[in-house]
A and B are shown apart, each in its own frame.
Chain A
């Protein structure tokens, strides 16, 4: 039963990442794109958590921690860049 759940979960997360990517491509302003990138980082962490649960490998959780850290720092750096950019 649970492998069907994992397949549905991974497919749903992939669809959400595609929606965020559409916003990243056609976002009218720069903060929209930063929000889309931030959401894609969170969705990658979600995917890694589901993969760790399905394969019982705890290395995926270490990767998820590192990606969460880097995604936060990148988001803050992008926000500083948006703030400094003269519009």
Chain B
């Protein structure tokens, strides 16, 4: 039973990681690529860590798996935010189908001299 469950979790995690790879390759925009990478890779790694903790139910494995999971959950959001901020400040081109872009207003505000 646990063997089946961990196998399903491993397959699900690998499929999500492959989805992240396909999304990074096929998405039209820096920001859409970034969200595909971040979400799918975080959930995929979570599935793989759950499969590991079910497959090897020892304290040393479970503690290390929980450490990796907590660290990646915390840092992937921060890293994605930092990259998106750098891309937006650098004026990265947007996809044609983008619905809303709030950058020109911010840029006009920041370019106005404060006096």
Contact = CB atoms under 8 A, between A and B. Distances in A.
- Do A and B truly interact? yes
Interface of A: 1-2, 5-6, 8-9, 12-13, 15-20, 22-23, 29-32, 34-36, 38-39, 42-43, 45-46, 49-50, 52-53, 56, 58, 61-62, 64-65, 68-69, 72, 75-76, 78-80, 82-83, 85, 87
Majority secondary structure of chain B interface residues (helix, strand, loop or mixed)? helix
Contact of B37 (A8, A38, A53, A79): A38
Contact of A16 (B17, B30, B76): B17
A16 B10 CA distance: 15
A63 to B, nearest CB: 10
B50 to A, nearest CB: 10
22 contacts: A2-B3, A5-B7, A5-B11, A12-B14, A13-B18, A16-B20, A16-B21, A22-B25, A31-B30, A31-B92, A39-B21, A42-B42, A46-B17, A46-B41, A49-B52, A50-B52, A53-B55, A53-B56, A72-B78, A75-B79, A76-B78, A82-B83
